[in-house]
Structure 1
């Protein structure tokens, strides 16, 4: 699953990081930012983005030809699709739409029509958080920050090492972002228009199955990104075929402070010794069990002492 992400770049830097090579020449193009507030909420950079927050999302410009002259645009959208049939307050639909399962999209009453109508998008992030559910010995689920492998010297939790720079001839030379496949929908009532999205998830492979059985559908090649966004030429079934388990990822344990969605501080994605502490705690628990077992064994042996049995 995917329940939290992080993106601390300002709008202009997000545009630079999402730049792509033009089909007409060798220059890099920055996708245009289409501002539109969603129920009064706009994108705010954060190290701890939660559902109902607004984040930048890449979409095809097909639906915005009258206002842009490029292939891709960045649109601020709210995390968690509002069902098309919902009426009234957008917050009251009571459905969990933060994630949509890849296996169920085509049979879903909610997601299938959105896919068929070209509602494909890409959620951009510096990383996402996942809580380990596979450690049976730990009472507290250890959170991890998962992100794309970075260039030499760049550390995901140390922005001073990113050296972000953009040039139209060489493109983006800064932090490597994650691109997660998603679906989006435009919902409106008498008062407002809201763009909202869901992150597509799939079964984890050996890269992350030690952590959790689900993972976001991450696009890690230009070909995948291009195909997922090309809603005019790449049909839905073909687009779904581009979603494959990713193998190249990096991660580290973080503090449980990220558990609180109100905590947006820079500490959220900092590397901690949580993993080592968890292992030590497990080892200590096992050692205690063995010590108790040895004591029981010692007591049993004492009770069976021939000398004691005579008294």
Structure 2
């Protein structure tokens, strides 16, 4: 499954990171950024994005007339609002953060969206997952999962990213994840909200040690292009491009990410249990050292007393 993501890049940097080679030229182009609606909620860069937060989503421009580029970035709310829902968008009471790949074509909610070209790509620096496969553990250890990075780039150290964009070379810097999803435009009276769900599938041997589900990650430009090309790539063909990705990286993080209100940069920092153990051991060593020193002092005082008694 996918319950939290991270994206700390600002609007301009997200556009650069999603740069692609335009069909109209041999140069790299940045996708257009479309205006935000979403009941007044806007995209805010965050290291801990939760459902109902708004994030930039890649879509084809074919459903957005008067757009210059083939691809556009549209801020959308995480968690599709069902088309039939009326009233307050917060009260539909359905879990729509993720949609299972196996059930899309039979789903009353997702099948019509897929048929109507509601394919999108959720961009993120990484996503969080809690280990559910360790039955002996009383607590679920959270992990941060992300794309492999180039030499020298550390996902939890932004100062190493060296982000840059040019029309000749495209984007150089942090490698983002591209997760396949579905989106819908919901309207009730004067309220318009764009919302999405992340498609998930059975985990492969890359992540099944962590969780039995994983996001459908598009790992190549061919996959990205096919998923976005709603005019020429039919739904069944598009679904065939969704395969469990093999190349991923991850590290454990602290339980601070458990609180969705915690949006700080500490959320994706590498959590090393050994350091905690070393500190504990150091404290214990210090304690026993003091006890031993105390014993030696007591022993020395006792010896001195016996010596004085003997001399008398």
Asked if TM exceeds 0.5, the reply is: yes
Specify the alignment match of 1:70 in structure 2.
69
Specify the alignment match of 1:8 in structure 2.
8
User: CA offset at residue 275 of structure 1?
Assistant: 8.5
CA distance in 1, matches of 2:50, 2:200: 16
Unaligned runs of 5+ in 2: 278-312
Specify the alignment match of 1:288 in structure 2.
none
CA offsets per residue over residues 7-45 of structure 1, 9 Å max, x none? 000000000000000113210000000021311100000
CA offsets per residue over residues 60-106 of structure 1, 9 Å max, x none? 0001122x111000000000000000000000000000000000000
1:58 equivalent to 2:55? Answer: no
Specify the alignment match of 2:43 in structure 1.
43
User: CA offset at residue 122 of structure 1?
Assistant: 0.1
1:129 equivalent to 2:93? Answer: no
Give the TM-score of the pair, scaled to structure 2: 0.87
CA distance in 1, matches of 2:236, 2:63: 21
Specify the alignment match of 2:30 in structure 1.
30
Specify the alignment match of 2:172 in structure 1.
173
1:204 equivalent to 2:180? Answer: no
Specify the alignment match of 2:242 in structure 1.
243
Q: Is the contact between residue 180 and residue 199 of structure 1 (CA under 8 Å) also seen in structure 2?
A: yes
Alignment of 1:156-171 (within 5 A): 156-171=155-170
CA distance in 1, matches of 2:96, 2:151: 37
CA offsets per residue over residues 153-198 of structure 1, 9 Å max, x none? 0000000000000000000001000000000000001121000000
Rg (Cα) greater in structure = 2
What is the root-mean-square deviation of aligned Cα atoms in Å? 1.2
Specify the alignment match of 2:288 in structure 1.
none
CA distance in 2, matches of 1:124, 1:134: 27
CA distance in 2, matches of 1:276, 1:134: 24
Q: Is the contact between residue 134 and residue 211 of structure 1 (CA under 8 Å) also seen in structure 2?
A: yes
CA distance in 2, matches of 1:206, 1:164: 32
Unaligned runs of 5+ in 1: 279-311
Structure 1 stretches of at least 4 aligned residues deviating more than 6 Å after TM superposition: 275-278
Q: Secondary structure of the residue that 1:268 maps to in structure 2?
A: helix
Q: Is the contact between residue 253 and residue 274 of structure 1 (CA under 8 Å) also seen in structure 2?
A: no
Q: 1:277 to 1:118 in 2, by over 3 A?
A: farther
1:148 equivalent to 2:147? Answer: yes
CA distance in 2, matches of 1:165, 1:247: 27
Q: 1:276 to 1:142 in 2, by over 3 A?
A: farther
CA distance in 2, matches of 1:276, 1:113: 51
Alignment of 1:181-260 (within 5 A): 181-260=180-259
Q: Is the contact between residue 254 and residue 274 of structure 1 (CA under 8 Å) also seen in structure 2?
A: no
Specify the alignment match of 1:296 in structure 2.
none
CA distance in 2, matches of 1:267, 1:24: 42
Q: Secondary structure of the residue that 1:252 maps to in structure 2?
A: strand
Give the TM-score of the pair, scaled to structure 1: 0.88
Q: 1:125 to 1:43 in 2, by over 3 A?
A: same
